Structure 1
Amino acid sequence: MSASPQPADLPGRVAPDRAIGFWGALSTNILNMVGIGPFITIPLALGAMGGPQALLGWVLGAFISLCDGLVWAELGAAMPDSGGSYVYLKRLFGERGLGNMLAFLLLWQTLVNGPLNVAAGAVGLTNYASYIFPSLSHGALIGVAAVLCLVSTALLYRDIRSVQRISQVTTLIVIGALAWIILSGVFHFHAARAFDFPPGAFTLHTGFFAGLGTTTLIAIYDCGGYANVCRLGGEVKNPQRNIPNSIIASIILIALLYIGLNLSILGTMPWREVVASKAVVADFMHALYGRTGGVIVAGLIMIAGWGSIYVVLLGYSRVPYAAAAEGRFFKPFAALHPKGHFPTVSLVFMGVASAVCCLVRLDALIEVLIVIQTLFQYSVQCIGVIVRRKALKEIGMPYRMPLFPLPALLALAGWIYIVTTSKLIYIGLGVVLFAVGSLIFLLLAHRRKEWPFAVPIVQPAGA
């Protein structure tokens, strides 16, 4: 299986610098994972399960993330190029066949999901902005979210080394804030309050599994981002080690912090009050330290939210660039800054589109994101590492998941469970997006005489 030229191999193409080390890769993942998610979704998870048994969803979400992380680790180490799944799917399934279509569909959904993902962080962040500034109107909060997307775009318009320094400093702030919140809960923890399960909490029925599916989806959203470094693979030093290590380390660290965060809040506040809160961590710290404590933690959470916006935008901006650099997308998206060697047009497009998407409701952003990513990306990658094992071995496998293929199968089962327990409207939206993308690909392939419309080469008689 021959590999197509990567951006660095194309004639006259200047490749991005490999300047991101392990700690830079780890911080890139952690900032993407933490963001604003856990600080706004704890009430949603409790409401879906109807009590503290929602912790089951967090544990299941972390387990699925770890299994899926092993899939990403294999692919990222084998193909350390910018673009992530776009590169993986194309090379796994054949660059002149089905892989070309799957890569196109991945790019197609990225143009939608990238801005939605960034916007989700920005819109969620405004819940805590409204805690600090309760007089802000709904329209003003939307404006704040949009401005954050544009400011992040401007800050990312620079050399990757500067970007790495900013992400590492922000990561320290995020981890420090989480540690403060968790320790505050430890000193005020009441087990009876934390495990105040309602009657029938663990009765196995349709409602229980539906609620568990919703809670797991929320946990997956909050844990999502552990493979953000794969989108920057072409800019990572020693990627065969740093990509797998940063993925696995970020999942374990963040899973422990999230479970600790949940237990701290549940052991301090009655869970029925938590369900009704929109800025739950600010309310939690307000109860312990007064208004000042609530404002301080809200400010720290806003920094965490901005850090997530920052690195998600960074990662997604590299996907259209990688496709365009190979001649598979609009040529302007392949533009690199002449001095900083970072994508320019791709970055600006993602930033502006994200600002526009801030008009969408937060709950819709979250559910659509997970369903579409599962249909287009996560499940396909799990299948790919199993059924295309021979092709992956030909590419080279410096890292191999333990107990293969069990982690990939478990991750795939988890993705199927999450999608089948989601709302039909979001499943339908994902199917429509898939169908439209497939139609566009087939029209382009027909015009270019490419797979599946390629004209077979007829060998001359006697050749």
Structure 2
Amino acid sequence: MALKRQKKKILQRVIGYFHGTIFLFSIIIGAGIFIAPKGVLKYSSLNVGVSLSIWAACAIVSMMAALSHAELGTTFPKSGAQYYFLKRSFGPFIAFFHLWIHLFSTPAGIAARGLLLAGYITQPFYPGCFVPEMPKKCLALAILWCLGILNARGVKEVTWFQTVSTVVKMTVLCFISLTGIALLVRGKKENLARFENAFDAEVPEASQIAEAFLQGLYSYAGWGVLVRIAGELKNPSENIPKCVITAVTLVALIYLLVNISYLAVLTPKEIISSDAVAVTWVDRVIPSMQWAISIGVSSSIVSSLNCTLFSASRLFFVASQEGQMPWILSTLSIHSCPVVAVIQILIFASILIIPSDLITLINYVGYINWIQLGLMMAGLVKLRIQEPNLPRPYKVHLLLVFGTLAMSLFLVLTPIIKSPQMHHIYVLVFTLSGLFFYFPFVHFNLGSTYFNKITCFLQLLLNVSPADDVNEYISAKGTSQKIPPETATKKE
């Protein structure tokens, strides 16, 4: 009597156009719109006209980069497509550096947003004074590990949570936007003052404009999330470009209106001196609505955190399958979740929950991200030349690719040439430090019996097993295909 075959453990393609758009909203509209206006104004020399122009330009650049980036996920429709693409274009060495950077930059970003979220939640309990560090850190840790438990429950629970939290934060941002428009329509002198002579202030230098762009583009960060989770999308060749166009357009409109609303109520100096611009704004307009704003801001950040945790775990899952991370990270739970990868990110983020300057952190993360994006655009051009017959369901115009590459070079090189800072050296040293891990553990594949014992212990403790992915692979032509039954039988 034949035994009943168990359901295969694979990443399930359950995310369609609606939830794909929700995912984009969730990760893009996070902490950025509540902290980046401060940085953009600072590096714009408090010039209101330049600041708003940079926000509009950031929208155009983000759309251009997102559409160029979408080709990666449609050509290689698997989770962690950026990593796989870099490995195919430039080899395992460059792909490992992409992985190495995300191994630390992603938990650092999660830790910073966790602290920001905890600060927004606890601030109403400490009116008129600073929030003590200990309760803020403890709350941040509790939030992160609760999100880890949610991710471990599977994709359906995550998409449900993202939908609810996105509705809440969109409601709050629409409230801020419409209130600002109403104040401008009423035409009070103090509300219109900042816009009458918007460009009269000092004009920033090229290096300052580059830094301001990094601040504004941080608010759009995350538009590549669908490429990272392409293995769980339905019909990625159609849904990725459609979701990108829908989400980035609406986000750009909301961001412009929110910034106009901030400036209609607060002066540029008040904005850059505030640690919570939205809370300061509501204290000036409707003080009794502070709780509602805090809830909206909190839901915005927590949904972005959840989406980042979800997508980053897929990167480490795929890297483990490719042999560049410990094997245990490529295992799945009974809910088809790479739970070990989720736990690894949370451990790193928990260690990094320390006080930090958010503006400096944005520059670190933004600077590294644009280096990687420039590398991907160069790889895309390289693959177009080397493999012109590679099936590409969605093919972006090369003008957008070269435009994104040019913007990447501007943002990376201008600060170094015009005003070099120590954090540029830190980024270089950190990136090169990956060599000490790549050659012994990846290139030469050094291991030990001790590591194997730890792997067996974790597999039993967490009740995880290898993914049953023998029936699907990325073909030599770059498309997702099924292995013929006779070939699969031979492999088993």
Once structures 1 and 2 are overlaid, which stretch shifts more, 152-161 or 115-124? 115-124
Match of 1:399 among 385, 394, 401: 394
CA contact (8 A) 1:126 1:144 kept: yes
Structure 1 distance, partners of 2:168, 2:10, is 32
**Aligned twin of 2:331:** 335
Question: 1:218 offset after TM fit, Å?
Answer: 0.7
**Aligned twin of 2:36:** 41
Q: Deviations over 1:90-141 (max 9, x none)?
A: 12x1xxxx32111111111111111012122212223423431226302322
Structure 1 distance, partners of 2:143, 2:389, is 44
Distance 1:367-1:185 versus aligned 2 partners, 3 A rule: same
**Aligned twin of 1:365:** 361
**Which residues of 2 match residues 41-440 of structure 1 at below 5 A?**
41-49=36-44, 50-52=46-48, 53-91=50-88, 93=89, 98-134=90-126, 136-189=131-184, 190-197=191-198, 199-202=200-203, 207-290=204-287, 292-337=288-333, 339-361=334-356, 362-375=358-371, 377-391=372-386, 393-401=388-396, 404-422=397-415, 424-440=421-437
Once structures 1 and 2 are overlaid, which stretch shifts more, 313-322 or 439-448? 439-448
The DSSP-based 3-state class of the residue aligned with 1:226 is: coil
Question: 1:236 offset after TM fit, Å?
Answer: 0.6
Question: 1:315 offset after TM fit, Å?
Answer: 0.7
Q: Deviations over 1:196-248 (max 9, x none)?
A: 5374534xxxx422221111101111100111121111111111111121122
Number of matched pairs: 424
Structure 2 distance, partners of 1:153, 1:364, is 27
The DSSP-based 3-state class of the residue aligned with 1:19 is: coil
Question: 1:364 offset after TM fit, Å?
Answer: 3.3
Structure 2 distance, partners of 1:392, 1:308, is 36
CA contact (8 A) 1:56 1:212 kept: no
TM-score, normalised to structure 2's length? 0.81
Structure 1 distance, partners of 2:243, 2:424, is 32
CA contact (8 A) 2:47 2:201 kept: no
Match of 1:20 among 15, 33, 42: 15
Structure 2 distance, partners of 1:301, 1:326, is 38
Structure 1 distance, partners of 2:168, 2:207, is 36
The DSSP-based 3-state class of the residue aligned with 2:98 is: helix
Question: 1:155 offset after TM fit, Å?
Answer: 1.3
CA contact (8 A) 2:38 2:271 kept: yes
Amino acid at match of 2:382: V
Amino acid at match of 1:133: F
The DSSP-based 3-state class of the residue aligned with 2:193 is: helix
Once structures 1 and 2 are overlaid, which stretch shifts more, 40-49 or 418-427? 418-427
Structure 1 distance, partners of 2:388, 2:377, is 15
Structure 2 distance, partners of 1:176, 1:102, is 42
Distance 1:223-1:392 versus aligned 2 partners, 3 A rule: farther
Amino acid at match of 1:115: P
Amino acid at match of 1:99: G
Question: 1:356 offset after TM fit, Å?
Answer: 1.8
CA contact (8 A) 1:78 1:399 kept: yes
Structure 2 distance, partners of 1:445, 1:347, is 22
Structure 2 distance, partners of 1:391, 1:246, is 29
Distance 1:305-1:445 versus aligned 2 partners, 3 A rule: closer
Amino acid at match of 1:192: A
Please give the root-mean-square deviation of Cα atoms over the aligned residues, in Å.
Answer: 2.1
The DSSP-based 3-state class of the residue aligned with 2:323 is: coil
Question: 1:330 offset after TM fit, Å?
Answer: 0.7
Which ranges of structure 2 fall in alignment gaps of 5 or more residues? 1-6, 185-190, 447-492
Distance 1:392-1:161 versus aligned 2 partners, 3 A rule: farther
Distance 1:392-1:26 versus aligned 2 partners, 3 A rule: farther
Amino acid at match of 1:323: A
Structure 2 distance, partners of 1:320, 1:391, is 28
TM-score, normalised to structure 1's length? 0.86
Once structures 1 and 2 are overlaid, which stretch shifts more, 439-448 or 344-353? 439-448
